[in-house]
Each structure stands twice: as structure tokens, then as C-alpha cells.
């Protein structure tokens, strides 16, 4: 089953939005298979955002991600990578639709509270960067048969 990497950034943690954010993924029907709270080093943040290293905001972004606790998670479900991005909303909260996490809960692009992998390759790389294989839990959630039916 498809998996994606989701992180609640330091602003989301400080604003007490952990439960709110987890709840949106959980209520949708996605399954939490890994979770931890960590303060990433600057070097680790640079690895996570390596694709953006030429951008003018890269240094500030990495300083910010490493400025406090981050809740790192892996969520599993059919279409979770793409639909997870839909739940999150557009990068700039000024452009995110109401009803999305960033649309409802954030105001500026530099403090948009959550990260989600943008495709299958980045999902795989980010899960491997943030988690050891043994930190991912394989289990059956009893609600699955109600979320997916018999097929």
C-alpha cells in the first residue's frame, strides 16, 4: 500500500495543532504507520530540503525546520501521496482553499505548519531519511474493511 511522509513543522507543534492535523488524516481513512517527535539538526533539515538549495529562502527554511520539535509521520493508504497534498493545501496559505490544513490554519508561506511528500520518489526518499525500517509498523486496522470494502 502507498505511503507518504508527513511532518508537522515547529510552528504547527508550537501552535498546538498536532492533534488537529493528525485527526484530518485519520478521519479521512488513512493509517498512521510511524510517528515520532524530533528536533532536526540544521544539516538534517538541509538534507530534507536539498531540492530547494538554490532558492533564496533555503537557509531561512532550514533554520526554521531545525528551530524546534517536528512531528514526523508516515501515513498509508490508497492515493495517500496525492490526496495528502490535497488535505494540506497549496504551499502559500494565502492561496490554499478553505477546508485544507494550510487554508484553515496558516497565513504565510514561511509558516505553513506542515510538510507532505510531493511524489512517489520523494515519499520513498523522505521516509528513508526520517525513519529506520523497524520504526515502520505493519498492522491491520479494523476499520480498513469499512474504508475500502471487500475489493
- Binding partner of 24, given ligand GTP, Mg ion, none, CB within 5-8 angstroms per partner class: none
Give strand pairing partners of 36.
Answer: 72
Q: Work out what residue 57 binds among Mg ion, ligand GTP, none; the CB cut-off runs from 5 to 8 Å by kind.
A: ligand GTP
The residues binding Mg ion (CB under 5 A) are 118
HSE-up of 107 (CA within 13 Å, CB side)? Answer: 1
Asked if 144 interacts with ligand GTP (CB under 6 A), we say no
Ranges of beta strands (E only) in 47-145 are 70-76, 114-116
Smaller CB distance to Mg ion: residue 52 or 137? Answer: 52
Rounded to whole angstroms, how far apart are CA atoms 35 and 33? 7
Give me the residues paired with residue 42 across strands: none
Q: How far, rounded to the nearest angstrom, does the alpha carbon of residue 74 sit from its chain's CA centroid?
A: 8
To the query of whether residue 48 is one of the catalytic residues in this protein, the response is no
- Tell me if 91 is assigned to a ligand binding site: yes
Cα–Cα distances (Å) from 80 to 2, 15, 26, in that order, read 6, 25, 11
Does residue 102 have a known ligand-binding role?
Answer: yes
Compare residues 6 and 34 and give the one whose CB is closer to Mg ion. Answer: 6
For the chain, the straight-line distance linking the first and the last C-alpha, in angstroms and rounded, comes to 14
Residue 8 C-alpha cell reads as 508537522
Binding mask 61-100 for ligand GTP (x = CB under 6 A): x-----------------------------x---------
Write down the catalytic residue from 106, 115, 117, 123.
115
In the bound complex, what is the minimum distance in angstroms from residue 139's beta carbon to ligand GTP? 26
Using CB atoms, what's the residue nearest to ligand GTP?
A: 91
The binding site for ATP comprises 9, 57, 85, 91, 102, 112
Annotated active-site positions, please?
115
Amino acid at each position: 500500500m502507498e505511503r507518504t511522509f508527513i511532518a508537522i513543522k515547529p510552528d504547527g507543534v508550537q501552535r498546538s495543532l498536532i492533534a488537529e492535523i493528525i485527526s484530518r488524516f485519520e478521519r479521512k481513512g488513512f493509517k498512521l504507520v510511524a510517528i515520532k517527535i524530533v528536533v532536526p539538526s540544521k544539516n538534517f533539515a538541509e538534507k530534507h530540503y536539498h531540492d530547494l538549495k538554490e532558492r533564496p529562502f533555503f537557509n531561512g527554511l532550514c533554520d526554521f525546520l531545525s528551530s524546534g520539535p517536528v512531528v514526523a509521520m508516515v501515513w498509508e493508504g490508497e492515493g495517500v501521496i496525492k490526496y495528502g497534498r490535497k488535505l494540506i493545501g497549496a504551499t502559500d496559505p494565502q492561496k490554499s482553499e478553505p477546508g485544507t490544513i494550510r487554508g484553515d490554519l496558516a497565513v504565510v508561506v514561511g509558516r505553513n505548519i506542515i510538510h507532505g511528500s510531493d511524489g512517489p520518489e520523494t515519499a520513498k526518499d523522505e521516509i528513508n531519511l526520517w525513519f529506520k525500517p523497524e520504526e515502520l509498523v505493519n498492522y491491520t486496522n479494523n476499520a480498513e474493511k469499512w474504508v475500502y470494502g471487500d475489493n
